[in-house]
Amino acid sequence: MKIAVIGQSLFGQEVYKELKKAGHQIVGIFTIPDKDGKEDPLAAEGVKDGTPVFKYTRWRVKGKAIPEVVSEYSSLGAELNVLPFCSQFIPMEIIDFPKHGSIIYHPSLLPRHRGASAINWFPRVIEMSQKLTLFGSTLISNASPQGQTLDIPGAHAPAIVSRNGLFLFGNDGKMLLVKSLQFEDGKMIPASKYFSSSESSSLQLTEEEEKIKEQLRVSAEDMLCSIGYCPMGNSGETFHLRSGDRTDVRILFVLAVCRLVEEIKLKCQGLQLQNEDVYMATTFGDLTQTLVKKLRGEDDEEELPIDYVELNIDNLTLRMPHQLFIDGQFVDAEGGKCYNSINPTDGSVICRVSLAQVADVDKAVAAAKEAFETGEWGRMNPRDRGRLIYKLADLMEQHQEELATIEAIDSGAVYTLALKTHVGMSIQTFRYFAGWCDKIQGCTIPINQARPNHNLTFTKREPVGVCGIVIPWNYPLMMLAWKTAACLAAGNTVVLKPAQVTPLTALKFAELTVKAGFPKGVVNILPGAGSLIGQRIADHPDVRKLGFTGSTAVGKQIMKSCALVNVKKVSLELGGKSPLIIFSDCDLVKAVRAGMGAVFFNKGENCIAAGRLFIEESIHDQFLQKVVEEVKKMKIGNPLDRSTDHGPQNHKAHLDKLIEYCATGVKEGATLAYGGKQVPRPGFFFEPTVFTDVQDSMFIAKEESFGPIMIISKFQNGTRSSERVSEDQNSHH
């Protein structure tokens, strides 16, 4: 192609060389005059190659293009102008002269005459079936976009129209993601809708809507007149501004659009349009159609189809998604695999839940990667991200009773505790991290004290990408919140595996992310087996970080897998056996209350539970007697009953483990002061249990039960007990 290069600087020189390398004929270089007798690098390069170089001081006089300059330029017959870093005012006669128009690239300068949109790649004209102008582009170096291909004559490879926009491929392997397209007639559409934009049919307005249209016409005309346009005249209804208009007008236009949007809100029952809705509407007619669609509620995103399992409990209808959540959709697992989610209160099946397979992990990670690399999430202003997370927290609050009830039937958590802790703290966690979104910043570091000091060293915090999250079953929603909220606030995307035995609040949470407006692929939830799904997440090369809460043994295994595959970042919150030491000068009533809370809270399924109590010998018998008295008063029963203190253990395997744990304690010679057995009723209830005379060498002194089992050892003075505590390698990791 015959190209004229108009620009300057080393960047201009580089662009010129690349164009030549690509086989184009450079018919002329137009650059700035020499400074202090020194040529601009672009001019120097052209001279070396024998390319004609022109150095005009200016192209216009009194706002008019200089005829000699225009004719000299035109005589070269350029088919395309490329403007790399051009600081001069180039007349529109020159910009529009070549048959392919101009490509303007400004790494730092924003020339006054091009307006705000010129800050990006701006190929003004691309020959497809019609001429298009591209707006809002991002350079992407590493992505595999999915979508419909679009042939562009002369392009290195066909473009792809994806749900995130139009991908154009360069011959350097990089790609440009374009957000919006403008047609010759001025109509603007999201690039993602290139193939579907003409499908929408126009609505027949009702009498009432016609009235609104007329009111709106007055406001729109007023707005346009305020910036010196008289656009809707007799025939046309056009009111958009074409690119290339003056920047000062453009700014007025933006302000006028804001006014119009507010006026619409006032006149149309609080209807909130976005400024973009006005930009996208080419004609007044288009704007009216958009507005009426919104008023009728037809414009809402298609409602997500969810195959709920519905249950009515305590006058509350639970609507529970039960399929995997991948890329913003609830879907069956590969091969339609399912399993039963069990209610520990009576051992009944709550519902069938999709059981993720390895292929599902790969799909979820691919969706999370795309959402991060090319989706809206990755490009979103952190403040808007914060707003979405706040909205999610609000929705969780609106659904808190439903979430708490689901938690109670799925994990056996006592309802009131679930409401305040499992769900309440999860909501607060999302609110807390939402506030962090726009406060994640780096620092400048004075690395060199030398004078003069020209070093500038700074850190910038960036999201890592796809984060894998694997969590346990004791606080299903809260574990999800603690891990997920921080990842999302920082701008990452997430693939989360809940514990297989407690998947239901995580799936309900997924539904709420859709309601909050999270883009597809940002959150993905995969109920499934740890050894398969958790392991695949740890092994996946596109997962950049793994957050895990669970047992120490699995944590070690995960750390190893993450190191081997791609040295991914890992954070682990593991098991422990925290001590509680009670001295003889304590307030015994308070000490008993504290000891019981520390052991029996949430049925002992608590990672910060007191795994061992050291009681000073002189008060041991009294303490024990009081504890046993109090334990006997605990009301064991249905967790949905508001007066219940102690619900069922989380699942059958855990109950069996506790029974075995107690049998080991008895066999080793510890004194079983109370409990130690399954409660004789349906479900997985275990008696709150108290052991004493536990020696340091015993299994139950060393191993965490993760259940309602108090392990008491005596000590004679404080020094001895703290030595025994510090010898314990098992404190919370």
For residue 540, state whether it binds ligand TAP (rule: CB under 6 A): no
Residue closer to ligand TAP (CB basis): 101 or 547: 547
Contact status: 472 vs ligand TAP (CB under 6 A): yes
Residue 495 interacts with ligand TAP (CB under 6 A): yes or no: no
221 is catalytic: no
| Measured distance CA(693)–CA(671) in Å, rounded | 6
Residue 187 CB, nearest approach to ligand TAP (Å): 51
Give 534 or 676: the residue with its C-beta nearer to ligand TAP: 534
Q: If you write DSSP's letter for every residue of 552-600 in order, what string do you get?
A: HHHHHHHHHHHHHHH--EEEEE----EEEEE-TTS-HHHHHHHHHHHHH
At closest approach, how far in Å is the CB of 394 from ligand TAP?
26
Residues 351/320, Cβ–Cβ less than 8 Å: yes
Euclidean distance between CA atoms 332 and 506, whole angstroms: 16
Residue 120 interacts with ligand TAP (CB under 6 A): yes or no: no
451 in Cβ contact with 531 (< 8 Å): no
Among 500, 513, 721, 730, binds ligand TAP (CB under 6 A): 500
Q: How far is the CB of 293 from ligand TAP (least distance, A)?
A: 44
Q: How far apart are CA 270 and CA 291, in angstroms?
A: 12
Least separation, in Å, of the C-beta of 706 and ligand TAP? 5
Instruction: Read off the amino acid at residue 310.
Output: E
Catalytic residue among 373, 607, 662, 704: 607
CA 714 to each of CA 503, 590, 624, 663, 705: distance values in angstroms, whole numbers, following the listed order: 41, 19, 11, 21, 19
For residue 499, state whether it binds ligand TAP (rule: CB under 6 A). Answer: yes
Nearer to ligand TAP, 408 or 607 (CB): 607
The CA distances from residue 700 to 653, 665, 706, in Å, are 18, 6, 11
Please indicate whether residue 607 is annotated as part of the active site.
Answer: yes
- To the nearest whole angstrom, how small is the minimum distance from the Cβ of residue 536 to ligand TAP? 8
Asked whether position 607 contacts ligand TAP by CB under 6 A, the answer is yes
Asked whether position 470 contacts ligand TAP by CB under 6 A, the answer is yes
Of 28, 344, 521, 530, the residue at the interface with ligand TAP (CB under 6 A) is 530
Report if residue 531 touches ligand TAP, rule: CB under 6 A.
Answer: yes
Q: Which of 45, 573, 605, 687 is catalytic?
A: 573
d(CA 725, CA 581): 9
| By CB under 6 A, residue 647 contacts ligand TAP | no
Which residues have a Cβ under 8 Å from the Cβ of 548 and sit 6 or more positions away?
469, 470, 471, 534, 554, 555, 558, 570, 571, 572, 573
Q: Taking CB under 6 A as the criterion, which residues in 547-576 touch ligand TAP?
A: 549-551, 554, 557-558, 573-576
Task: With CB under 6 A as the rule, give the number of residues binding ligand TAP.
Answer: 27
494 contributes a contact to ligand TAP by CB under 6 A: no
Asked whether 28 and 76 are in contact (CB, 8 A), the reply is: yes
The strand pair at 610-616 and 543-549 is best described as: unpaired
Bond preceding residue 153 cis, omega within 30 of 0 = no
Whether residue 106 lies in the annotated active site: yes
- Which two structure tokens, joined as six digits, stand for 104? 């303007």
Q: Which of 704, 705, 709, 712 binds ligand TAP (CB under 6 A)?
A: 704
The smaller minimum CB distance to ligand TAP, of residues 368 and 592, is found at: 368
Contact region for ligand TAP (CB under 6 A) — 121-129, 210-218, 524-532, 694-702? 524-532
Both tokens of 334, joined, read 């590969």
Q: 320 near 309, Cβ under 8 Å?
A: yes
Per-residue contact track with ligand TAP, 412 to 451, x per CB under 6 A? ----------------------------------------
Asked if residue 529 binds ligand TAP (CB under 6 A), the reply is yes
CB closer to ligand TAP, 256 vs 711: 711
Q: Which of 122, 167, 330, 706 binds ligand TAP (CB under 6 A)?
A: 706
User: Where in 230-289 is the site for ligand TAP (CB under 6 A)?
Assistant: none
The secondary element (H helix, E strand) that includes residue 5 is strand 2-6
Q: Which of these is catalytic: 45, 86, 100, 106?
A: 106
- Written as six digits, the tokens of 681 are 């009723």
Query: How would you classify the pairing of strands 2-6 and 126-127?
Result: unpaired
Q: Comparing C-alpha atoms, which of 323, 318, 320, 310 is closest to residue 353? A: 323
130's tokens: 């019609």
Contact 615, 582 (CB under 8 A): yes
Among all residues, which ones are annotated catalytic?
106, 573, 607
Q: Which parts of this chain interact with ligand TAP (CB under 6 A)?
A: 470-474, 497, 499-500, 529-531, 534-535, 538, 549-551, 554, 557-558, 573-576, 607, 704, 706
